[in-house]
Structure 1
Amino acid sequence: MTSYEIAIWVFMLAAFLGFELIRRVSPLLHTPLMSLTNAISAIAVVGAILITGEKEASTLSRTLGFIAVVASVTNVVSGYLITDRMLRMFKKRSPEKK
């Protein structure tokens, strides 16, 4: 097996396991799960910045690194916005004054 085929198998396995695990999580645990995935995405941002900033990186590596930084930052920001929205749903609303 080539490294490309192994990478495809790992991706397919991760996608399947991720789908099955998320599908079986109780709705009460979605907010902590979102926070965890935001932390993992933040690690991806750091990795993408490190790859993009290498001195001897090719133009392709820098371009892909930049795309990875933009995609990861977008994922982190939108994840925090969605988590905040989910947390606001659990807050008690103040009674309306007549």
Structure 2
Amino acid sequence: MRAIICALLTGAFALPASAATSGAVASTTVFLIVVFVLAVFVGYYVVWSVTPALHTPLMSVTNAISAIVVVGAVIAAAAVSADGDATRETWTARGLGAAAVFFASINIFGGFLVTRRMLAMYRKKS
């Protein structure tokens, strides 16, 4: 697994330089895919290496990150072109922004429910 991550890291740092010199869109796309795959691996190992007592604060942090995503999604949902016309790009940005607001809101709501349930486990039973 470490060899795969090292190979991905090596490729990730070599791609931006080649993409900048050749101007190839494919290299930039490959770079973004590599960054996404690395983020998936790092996220997986971070979540599974956390002790059970720290899962509640981890959930709170992910709720905060989702709140930041909502702010960015609202900005994307309010996209306007430079001349004020409704173009295909602005409608795409608005649609994706609205979808991101919806899904991030579900993520935040579910995170609060799970956090509440986890905190209930630590309460004294009376």
Q: What's the TM-score, normalizing by structure 1?
A: 0.91
Matched, 1:55 2:80: yes
Deviations 1:1-59 (A, max 9, x none): 52211111011000001101111110000000000010000000000000111222521
Matched, 1:65 2:90: no
Counterpart of 2:117 (choices 74, 85, 88) is: 85
Structure with greater contact order relative to length (CA < 8 Å, sep ≥ 6): 1
- Computed over aligned residues only, the root mean square deviation of the Cα atoms, in angstroms, reads 1.0
Matched, 1:38 2:63: yes
CA distance in 2: counterparts of 1:67 and 1:37, whole angstroms: 19
Matched, 1:74 2:106: yes
Counterpart of 1:6 (choices 31, 37, 57) is: 31
Unaligned stretches of 5+ residues in structure 2: 1-14, 16-26, 82-88
Aligned sequence identity (%):
45
Residue pair 2:70, 2:100 contacting (<8 A) in 1 also: yes
Unaligned stretches of 5+ residues in structure 1: none
Residue pair 2:66, 2:104 contacting (<8 A) in 1 also: yes
**Structure 2 residue identity aligned to 1:53:** A
Counterpart of 2:48 (choices 7, 16, 23) is: 23
Bigger Cα Rg: 2
Residue pair 2:77, 2:94 contacting (<8 A) in 1 also: yes
**Structure 2 residue identity aligned to 1:11:** F
**How many equivalent residue pairs?**
94
